[in-house]
Amino acid sequence: MDQNQVLFERAQAVIPGGVNSPVRAFRAVGGTPRFVARAQGAYFWDANGKQHIDYIGSWGPMILGHGHPKVVEAVQRAVLEGFSFGAPTEREIELAEAIIKLLPSIEQVRLVSSGTEAGMSAIRLARGFTGRSLMIKFEGCYHGHADSLLVKAGSGLATFGHPTSAGVPAEVAAHTLVLPFNDLEALEAAFKAHGHELATVIIEPIAGNMNFVRASVPFMKRLRELCTQHGALLILDEVMTGFRVGLSCAQGIYAQAIPGFAPDLTVLGKVIGGGMPLAAFGGRHDVMAKLAPLGGVYQAGTLSGNPVATACGLATLNEISQPGFFEALGAKTRSLVQGLKAVADRRGVPFSVDSEGGMFGFFLLPELAQNYQEVMKTDGPAFNRFFHAMLDQGVYFAPALYEAGFVSAAHSEADIAATLAAADKAWS
């Protein structure tokens, strides 16, 4: 009997859809979700005891792989000291100092518990700092499930958005403009029409929720210029890319191509918690000074800066800061995606790939997508067949064609070779 199916049926009786985050339900690809019994290194074992090579890594945090000994040791020590205090600890200062040391754009940082919380708090702070209400987001970028972010594009280049979720009031969505990703014409039009009203623009520098789509350098350069010109704060959502694509995050990559480039605020998550519920937002001192208890922008959280989560995050950041870590991780990821491309080409499958650091994406398209509309041209049924063929062989990619993938330091050359062999069989 399939224990995954047994658990899924049991879960659906007590949890909406049987899952606590929608993509886990396999609705996009069909079939039964894999319930994880345990994980170690680059693998997890499902409820049937079947081993899988894991290319989602808890959607990014497990950059060292599951159960890294030094991270486990740090967490065990922290647990013995106490689970939560609701009071300050030295360790949260240490984590804040570590983040600030690695990211020059951040002068102060506030720790929270989730990416959604960090994103919505950064937007509130930007509005409080500027005294304005309007914000811009980009179609295909995901910044959490706060009301003002669950918005789809309107019908024109600079029209207001519409809610994508029941329960989001239209008047809330009316404060959000949704623009096409990488579209300079739409960006210019929006600032021309609404620049004096804009509090902030929030963007994933490398979007990971429409698979893997980079903001072009000219687009990011002009976005920074327009925000500065009109007094709007630029928020980089690096929940996914932060310390995943490189030690200086995605903003460091853009700074190499755009002299002086820096966001006003940065949203972080995933890797900084090492797999535990922890996120953060930070930026310029004058902006962060508007936060309570110093300023009038209120934000609070009982579990913010949790002592066990900060121990996990600190241990993870320490390991990925070792010399050569990202060079090795990047080479490993390129080996995977270039190998997949070679197999697809040999089998006559339209296929394009990209990667940065330990993050990657692929499309069943002849060329890389540049925005959400191009992503939507991917052959969904073909992806679903590929996904299940790989899953049957013990290779676990994201169960949706709109999600990026992740390689960890624990993945071996043998794992990558096994993945490529599975892909060759899947496309045979």
**Count of other CB atoms within 10 angstroms of residue 411:** 25
β-strand partners of 38: 45
Distance separating alpha carbons of residues 343 and 350, to the nearest angstrom: 11
Q: Which three-class secondary structure state does DSSP give residue 417?
A: helix
Residue whose entry in the numeric block shows the structure tokens 């998550």: 269
The runs of H, that is alpha helices, within 183-324 are 184-194, 217-230, 249-257, 285-288, 307-320
Distance separating alpha carbons of residues 237 and 251, to the nearest angstrom: 10
Paired tokens of 371:
């925005």
Residue whose entry in the numeric block shows the structure tokens 């740090």: 74
DSSP one-letter code for 207 = E
Which listed residue (54, 183, 237, 354) is catalytic? 237
> 7: part of which helix (H) or strand (E)?
helix 3-14
**Count of other CB atoms within 10 angstroms of residue 361:** 27
At residue 46, φ and ψ (nearest 5 deg) are -85, -175
Distance separating alpha carbons of residues 421 and 415, to the nearest angstrom: 10
Cα 16 to Cα 20, 150, 168, 301, 373, distances in angstroms: 8, 19, 19, 26, 30
142 catalytic per annotation: yes
9 CA to centre of own chain = 29
**Count of other CB atoms within 10 angstroms of residue 377:** 11
Q: Are 217 and 254 in contact (CB under 8 A)?
A: yes
Is the sign of the CA dihedral 257, 62, 396, 21 positive or negative?
negative
270 catalytic per annotation: yes
Residue whose entry in the numeric block shows the structure tokens 């959400």: 372
396 catalytic per annotation: no
Which listed residue (254, 270, 332, 415) is catalytic? 270
**Count of other CB atoms within 10 angstroms of residue 346:** 10
Distance separating alpha carbons of residues 411 and 336, to the nearest angstrom: 10
Which listed residue (43, 55, 142, 402) is catalytic? 142
**Count of other CB atoms within 10 angstroms of residue 312:** 26
Residues identified as active-site: 142, 237, 270
